[in-house]
Chains A and B, each alone.
Chain A
Amino acid sequence: MSNILEIKNLSVNIKNKKILKNINLVIKTGEICVIMGPNGSGKSTLAKVLMGHPDYKISSGQIIFKGHNITKKKPEERAALGLFMTFQSPREIAGLDFYPFLFDAYKALQLARRKPAMDVFDFKPQLDRELDLLKISADWSNRNLNQGFSGGEKKKSEMLQLALLKPSLAIFDEIDSGLDVDALETVSQALKRFKTAKTSALIITHYQKILKYVRPQKVIVIDQGEIVKRGTYRLALKLEQEGFQQIIANK
């Protein structure tokens, strides 16, 4: 199996404060990696750095995605290469029509990937199918992007974008938080649909539940910007029983 993502000695600053320290991580094609850790440990920061958020300054190290050094690439270039991220708090964009946005993003990515794009008549049935699979019953056609969405709707909006934009590696930043039982089931199923032998996932979570749908090969624990523990699915189970402090203390 080839490596889809390689993070090499990555250190990151924000406003001269070091928030990620010497991160090394490899994700292979088809693999699922879970990142766990206490609040404020740097999990979301890592996700945003991987996606290319401009606020974070990489002081050293490299990010290699599908063999390309993307350390200095713009977020849209990373997206074009096949990287995607679901946001913990998806942004609400006033006045931006939701469905036309989806189609525009799809077209922009297809163009950047040098692939033919469906026209709107072929795109719409696919959109409808995904809406159906995500059990979105409300009419979203008159909505603006995430505007006025409930917490659960926002997570579904992220999963809808995931399904339509077809990345090869998706980072899920707490996709499972703030969901009721039914919505968690729906979102987990969507994650499962996304995950094939060719696609990879980096899942940031506090919970076990979602891991029942998609079993990770790798589990890592981050604390204070450092990877403090590496393991397999069993590490996740252990964390649930013992809590972070125990694990971190024993690092």
Chain B
Amino acid sequence: MNPKKNIINSSFEFTPSTQSQTHPGKSLKVQGRKIKAHNSLWDKHNPSAYMANSRPGLDEKLVRFISREKKEPAWMLKHRLESLKIYLQTPFPNWGPSLKNLDLEKITYYARATDKQFETWQDVPSDIKNTFSKLGIPQAEQEVLAGVGAQYESTVIYHSLQQRFQEQGVIFEDLDVAVQKHSKLVKAYFMKAVPPTLHKFAALHGAVWSGGTFLYIPRGVIIEQPLQAYFRMNAKGVGQFEHTLIIVEEEAWAHYIEGCSAPRYGVDSLHAGTVEIFVKPRARFRYSSVESWSKDVYNLNTKCALVEKEARMEWVSGNFGSKVTMLYPCSVLLGRKASADHLGVAFANQHQIQDTGAKVIHLAPETSSNIVMKSISKKGGKAIYRGLVKIAPQAKNAISNVKCDALILDSKSQSDTIPLIDVRNKSAILNHEATAGKLNADDIFYLQSRGLSTEAAQAMIVNGFIEPISRELPLEYSVEMNRMVELELEDSIA
């Protein structure tokens, strides 16, 4: 199979990027849809045999190697080495789900895809093929999504940026590239919202991060269409430490959406990505992600936005899969009238712990936050809402609303709500509401009496439950999220 024939994500058209190593895209037709292929994915020069040298474990030598491989400026190497030092000194978190089965010595911290890793569609495990089929993704896309012909672990990211945005000065590219091309800009913001000192995995990330997205929206630029990127984790035991750095200048508006998926492998994998967003005065930004990790992944992600005066930050997230997810997107409301919305869905299936929530720190007057979290737990899965709302002494007249709803599908499954509220100003108005419920047998019977199968009826009810969140996603993502729910529900019917 010629890898060049493969198509990548069809939800937007690729235009040739300005990167020097790219070639113009080819136009192909897939099931009636015209999609341009972005050849830079497969035409990587410098086919290193790095995978052969890659090894588990982490030390200074490896950190220096990563930096040298990426030809990074000296400041970045320094940052990595400092982070490594912090990592080695920092203990595991003493709260949250157990991470005792996470063997950090067995993780491969840096891997580059090589031509040798090319596999054919036939080699893709059938359960992954089935997953993609059920998601309704045509084979050409499936092949790409399954990593065939477009193996990329840590180094390759593809992006699309429409011409006009480029003209407006929008930068949207691989962070590795941005470190070279926009070194000063990246340096000014990199790990300033999520410093390596935040926790052990932030430090680890600082030492071994690789790839990710850099998005810069200049002042006053409004982008209505969501900007998108995909990350995937392909090789067995490979950690993924991608870094997303987003700067939204004053009065700019944008929406960025990220989908993550990983096939399942037998070795515990670690994902410790970081997202940093800087929302400048009167700017507005929405970050959406639908993540569906392999059932053996420890997904220990850190996401944080610094929100300035009259600016608005919106997080929309769907968390599926993984073994353990610990994810609490954070908004720091720095300026007067800054606001944040946190909307999230988490699905905890068998042997899974979804420990998710939100963190909002009100540091200025008249700041407001709204947190709506929905969780579903099934077959012994455990869904935990863990949240922190902090109102600082100077944050006069701050408002915060928190609403958590849990749907527990059977008697083996669990849900928990751990809200921490720290108020240092008496003028604050806070609301916390939590509900937990089961699937109603009469609801299912009602839908069945209309000819719908038990499975379809359950899926309709669960999708209805998360609808307040999924309706905030672009159509194709909300459809995908609904299908993810259907897949997660499927094996529940004995």
Measured CB to CB, the residues of A under 8 A from B are 48, 51-55, 74-76, 78-80, 84-85, 87, 90-91, 93-96, 101, 104-105, 108-109, 112, 144, 161, 165
Residue of B nearest to A79 (CB): B451
Report yes or no: A76 in contact with B453, Cβ–Cβ below 8 A: yes
B436-456: CB near A (< 8 Å → 1, else 0) gives: 000011110111111111101
Assess whether B451 is in contact with A105, with CB atoms less than 8 Å apart: yes
B468 lies within 8 A of chain A by Cβ: yes
User: Given the interface contacts A76-B454, A104-B452, A105-B452, does A93 sit within 8 Å of B447 by beta carbon?
Assistant: yes
B448 adjacent to A75 (CB under 8 Å):
yes
A residues less than 8 Å from B104 (CB atoms): none
C-alpha spacing A70/B209, complex, angstroms: 61
Residue of B nearest to A110 (CB): B451
Is B463 in the interface zone, CB < 8 Å from A? Answer: yes
The residue in chain B whose Cβ has the minimal distance to the Cβ of A109 is B451
What's the minimum C-beta distance from B2 to chain A, rounded to whole angstroms? 37
The 8 Å CB contact of A96, one of B449, B451, B464, is B464
Q: B461 on the interface (CB 8 Å rule)?
A: yes
B448: which of A52, A93, A101, A144 is its contact (CB, 8 Å)? A52
Give CA–CA (A80, B451) in the complex, Å. Answer: 6
Closest residue of chain B to A90 (Cβ to Cβ) is: B446
A94: B residues at CB distance < 8 A:
464-465, 467
Return chain B residues, CB-CB under 8 Å to A52.
Answer: 445, 448-449
CA distance A90 to B443 in the complex (A): 9
Flag whether B161 is at the interface (Cβ < 8 A). Answer: no
Chain A contacts of B466 at CB under 8 A? 95
Measured in the bound complex, the distance between the Cα atoms of B449 and A201 in whole Å is 16
Report Cα–Cα, A203/B152, bound state, in Å. Answer: 64
Interface: B177 (CB within 8 A): no
**Interface membership of B460, Cβ < 8 A:** yes
From the candidates A90, A91, A93, A165, name the one contacting B451 in the complex (CB within 8 A): A165
A48 to B467, CA, bound (A): 29
Chain B binding surface SS class: helix
Inter-chain CA distance A79–B465, complex, in Å, is 25
A93 close to B460 (CB less than 8 A): yes
Q: Nearest chain A CB to B84's CB is how many angstroms away?
A: 47
In the complex, what residues of B have CB within 8 A of residue A105's CB?
Answer: 447, 450-452
Chain B's closest residue to A111 (CB) is B451
CA distance A75 to B446 in the complex (A): 9
Beta-carbon nearest neighbor of A51 in chain B: B449
In the assembled complex, how far is the CB of residue B347 from the closest CB belonging to chain A, in whole angstroms?
15
Chain B residue numbers with a CB within 8 Å of A48 are 445
Smallest Cβ-Cβ distance to B471: which chain A residue: A95
Q: Taking the nearest CB of chain A, how far is it from the CB of B485, in angstroms?
A: 11
A247 to B441, CA, bound (A): 36
Q: State the CA gap A75–B457 with chains docked (Å).
A: 11
Could you say which residues of chain B place their CB within 8 Å of the CB of A90? 446
Interface digits, B270-284 against A, CB 8 Å rule (1 contact, 0 not)? 000000000000000
CB distance from A200 to the nearest CB of B (A): 17
What are 5 A-B pairs with beta-carbon distances under 8 A? A87-B449, A93-B447, A96-B464, A105-B452, A165-B450
Instruction: Tell whether, in the assembled complex, residue B452 and residue A95 are in contact, meaning their CB atoms are under 8 Å apart.
Output: no
A84–B447 touching, CB < 8 Å: no
- Please state if A161 and B461 are interface contacts (CB–CB under 8 Å): no
From A74, A80, A91, B446 is in contact (CB under 8 Å) with A91
Q: A93-B461, A95-B468 are in contact. Are A85 and B451 (CB under 8 A)?
A: no
Known: A95-B464, A108-B452. 13 other contacts (CB 8 A): A51-B449, A52-B445, A74-B454, A76-B454, A79-B448, A85-B449, A94-B465, A95-B465, A95-B466, A95-B468, A105-B450, A105-B452, A108-B453
Kindly state the separation between the CA atoms of A105 and B457 in the bound complex, as whole angstroms. 10
A108 B451 Cβ-Cβ under 8 A: yes
Which chain B positions have C-beta within 8 A of A108? 450-453, 456
Shortest distance between the CB of B428 and any CB in chain A (Å): 30
Establish whether residues B450 and A161, one from each chain, have CB atoms under 8 Å apart when the complex forms: yes
Pair A76/B451 contact, Cβ less than 8 Å? yes
